[in-house]
Amino acid sequence: MEIEKSADEAGITLTVSGRLTAVTAEELNDALDAAVAETKKLILDFKELEFVASAGLRVIISAKKNMDAAGGELIIRNVIEPVMDVFELVGLDDILTFE
């Protein structure tokens, strides 16, 4: 998994590519924790994310809760169909904001 960070006046975007597994989830968690502390608008761009495991879902849910507590917004963009199927299967499509 690779994470690229970019920032502009609108907020911080983390572009995640590869596979979000139990092994790589901690790396994303660290990047999300740092971004939550820096912005009120956090965008996760998943256009190149091929797979998400339950550990990755946990990290994303935690980031959503942290952004909500800080009065911020978490947006997930460009999710490919197989990954979106996972979000829908566990009911996160009703909790998270997708574009």
Residue span of the structural domain in which 41 resides: 2-98
State the total domains in the chain: 1
* The pLDDT value given to residue 19: 97
DSSP-assigned beta bridge partners for residue 77: 45
CATH of the domain at 31: 3.30.750.24
* Interval 15-68: pLDDT, tens: 999 999 999 999 999 999 999 999 999 999 999 999 999 999 999 999 999 999
- Chain centroid to CA 10: how far? 17
* The pLDDT value given to residue 35: 96
Q: Report in angstroms the alpha-carbon separations of 48 from 22, 27, 32, 54.
A: 18, 17, 17, 18
